Amino acid sequence: MNHVKDYRQQRGLSQLKLAQTVGVARQTINLIENGKYNPSLKLCLGIAKALGTDLNSLFWEE
């Protein structure tokens, strides 16, 4: 899994708001948060920047 939902909620953002910031559809954010698929690197980078964090914090499991 990943930590997108946690970080998004900590920032008080809706899925829609995050999606608009990153420039993707709301459904795409929803699917990523629920582990339903495998986002592209570019999208991961966009989400990390929009949430003021980095790739490891959101997507890395030791």
Binding site for DNA (CB under 7 A): 9, 14-17, 23-28, 30-34, 36-40, 42-43
CB of 2 to a copy of itself, least distance (A): 8
CB-based burial label for 9 (10 Å; 0-12, 13-18, 19+): exposed
Report the chain's C-alpha Rg in angstroms: 10
Q: First-to-last CA distance in the chain?
A: 12
Q: Which one, 12 or 42, has the nearer CB to a copy of itself?
A: 42
Rule CB under 8 A: which residues touch a copy of itself? 38-42, 44-45, 48, 54-56, 59-60
